[in-house]
């Protein structure tokens, strides 16, 4: 099988027991993981901003990064508040291998790599 990124070697699936273990691990470490992401975004943003000379360009880029992060967090909040809508997104099948696709934003089949039509949000 080939995907747009190259040949697929193996396809792994998660067992129900494995899914349970992952959910427990995520739940136990959720706050730490969110803090890690926060620190990562701060460091990445600072490196990016500091790559510009100390003048109006740096200030401009700093405002751009602030707006980017603000918009990103607003989008996350909106998505979390519209959980009912997310739960109602339709399942669909891959036209190549007929596998069920659960992610509404999937652009390729995770099993065979067939390109999928993007669903409207």
Looking at the structure, do residues 58 and 78 belong to the same domain, yes or no? yes
pLDDT score at 51:
94
| 43: in domain | yes
DSSP letter at 115 equals: B
Dihedral (Cα; 19, 24, 8, 117), 10-degree rounding: 80
- Number of structural domains the chain divides into: 2
CA distance linking residue 39 with residue 74, whole number of Å: 18
pTM to 2 decimals? Answer: 0.50
Domain-embedded: residue 54: yes
The answer to whether residue 31 is domain-embedded is: yes
Give pLDDT tens digits for 27-72.
888 888 899 999 999 999 999 999 999 889 999 999 999 999 998 8
The DSSP H or E segment spanning 111 is: none
* Structure-derived torsion over alpha carbons of residues 97, 98, 103, 107, reported in degrees to the nearest 10: 40
């Amino acid at each position: 099988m080939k995907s747009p990124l190259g040949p697929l070697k193996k396809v792994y699936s998660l067992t129900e027991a494995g899914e349970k273990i992952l959910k427990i691990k995520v739940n136990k470490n959720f706050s730490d993981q969110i803090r890690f992401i926060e620190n990562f975004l701060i460091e990445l943003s600072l490196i990016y901003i500091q790559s510009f000379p100390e003048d109006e360009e740096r200030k401009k880029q700093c405002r751009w990064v602030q707006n980017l992060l603000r918009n990103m967090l607003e989008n996350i909040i909106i998505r979390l508040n519209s959980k009912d809508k997310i739960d109602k997104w339709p399942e669909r099948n891959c036209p190549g291998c007929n596998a069920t696709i659960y992610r509404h934003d999937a652009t390729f089949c995770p099993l065979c790599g067939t390109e999928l039509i993007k669903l409207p949000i």
